[in-house]
Amino acid sequence: MDSSYLTKRYQHPEPNILADIGTLAATTKGAIDLSIGDPDFTTPQAVIDASFEKTKQGMTHYTEANGLPELRQAIGDYYQTKFNLTFELPQIRVTVGASHALFLALAVLLNPGDEVIVPEPSFSPYPEEVKAAGGNPVILANKAENGFAIDPLAVEQLITPKTKAVIINSPNNPTGNVMSAAEAKQLAKIAEKHHIFVLADEVYSDYLMPGQEFIPFATYAPDNTVTLGSMSKSYAMTGWRVGYLIGPEYLVTAAKLVNEGITYSAPTPSQNAALYAITHADEFVPEFAAAFLERLTYIDEQVKAIDWLSATPIEGGIYAFIDIRKTGLNSVTFAERLLKLAGIIVVPGLAFGQAGEGFVRVAATQPLPVLKTAFERIKQLDVGQLTKE
């Protein structure tokens, strides 16, 4: 037997650049890893202790399929307190991270051949999740000269009778763009007009640069919004694998049916950790946010000091999207040579769609001294070294 027994989609899969970079980062000794979006912070000790105390007390069984009621309530309270948004308990489901939440939403929304608009550059699993759920991703290429902002009118031009949803991510991975209130209001009206959903990935909402404001998309079109959230970035809990989905009750109820044979519920220790984290957010998030602000500010300053690089405006998130077009290299070749010549791992912009070509993503997930070492190495390079065959 061989790969011909696999579904046709996986017999000859397209290269997964982001996954390959993850493998490279995990197996390359001595390199400075500025690639994967896994913060270097350890989960706060109080979060760990709260989880394991309950584990030692015997909370090692399944929770309710939708998640611990007290965690779901805490998520609802968080949105009520911080954003004045009201969600009822049946609208909230705990998931195994935000990507799991996205897949569940897609699975209950899409019939075979339905379309989902995916603005790019974007988190690379988005189109693959659409395909896995039986849909067709329709790519909207955002433009570098506009800071890769989503143009709602461009979204509307792609809507057809088969369109079910558009995926947005603000603050954006990889570009750092934050959707403005005006853009969000316009897109909300379009979603309501055409009866489509906005699947809003808001996992970086706690990380904003000065002058930026985050407003949940559900503020503008609550009946047309599915909110995808995660504990991974805000609370340094990537390995705990816990997130949430918020949407209309009928959609969340259907997601429960889809998930029955996938994960049933999120891990109980992770849910207990998430409960403590979100109810003590003010104790943890400001410290992490301050660190990312300092790091991204430093990266931006350093990039501006190198004449063959430039950066798109960094408005939020934990990444800088660096313009390498002056080198004349494509993003994959640039990343390969940066690793070879300077021992630095970054993600080629092509990993985030064709619209990301000519850029590389730098993650601010290393301490400032490590970032300083990385840029000292980069400044020792010149375009001639990088482009030399």
Decide: 128 and 167 in contact? Cβ < 8 Å: no
The mean pLDDT of 300-319, rounded to a whole number, is 94
What is the structure's pLDDT at 18?
59
Indicate whether 320 pLDDT > 90. yes
At 163, the pLDDT band (50, 70, 90 cuts) reads very high
- How far is the C-alpha of 59 from the C-alpha of 81, rounded, in Å? 29
Q: What is the pLDDT of residue 131?
A: 96
Domains and their CATH numbers in the chain: 3-43+283-377 (3.90.1150.10), 61-280 (3.40.640.10)
| C-alpha torsion 285→202→170→235, nearest 10 | 20
Tens of pLDDT along 231-242?
Answer: 999 999 999 999
pLDDT above 90: residue 13: no
Phi/psi for 85 (5° steps) reads -105, 135
Give the DSSP H or E segment for 260.
Answer: none
